[in-house]
């Protein structure tokens, strides 16, 4: 994942993770961590996985 340059300015790729969390009534209900650089490719799989394991359906 490309991140801001460090002090050395060598442009190396650094390890980083994308964290997504679902919240309901101030409680974290679902959480995923992955190496994907953007949320655009992870939102729909995140919602489908949460619906599969939780007892309620996400409406919006």
pLDDT of residue 1: 59
User: Quick check: is 2 in a domain?
Assistant: no
The dihedral built from the CA positions of residue 32, 35, 1 and 39, taken in this order, carries a sign that is negative
Segments forming the whole domain that contains residue 29: 18-53
- Encode pLDDT of 37-52 as tens digits: 777 888 888 888 888 8
Domain count, the chain: 1
User: Quick check: is 38 in a domain?
Assistant: yes
Secondary structure of 2-13 in HEC code, one letter for each residue: CCCCCCCCCCCC
pTM of the predicted model as reported, rounded to 2 decimal places: 0.61
User: Quick check: is 33 in a domain?
Assistant: yes
Q: How far apart are CA 59 and CA 38, in angstroms?
A: 23
H or E element that contains 47? helix 43-53
- Encode pLDDT of 5-60 as tens digits: 666 777 667 777 888 888 888 888 888 888 887 778 888 888 888 888 887 776 76
The three-state secondary structure class of 44 is helix
């Amino acid at each position: 994942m490309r991140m801001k340059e460090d002090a050395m300015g060598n442009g190396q790729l650094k390890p980083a993770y994308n964290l997504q969390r679902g919240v309901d009534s101030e409680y974290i209900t679902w959480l995923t961590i992955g190496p994907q650089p953007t949320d655009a490719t992870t939102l729909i799989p995140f919602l489908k996985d949460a619906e599969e394991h939780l007892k309620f359906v996400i409406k919006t």
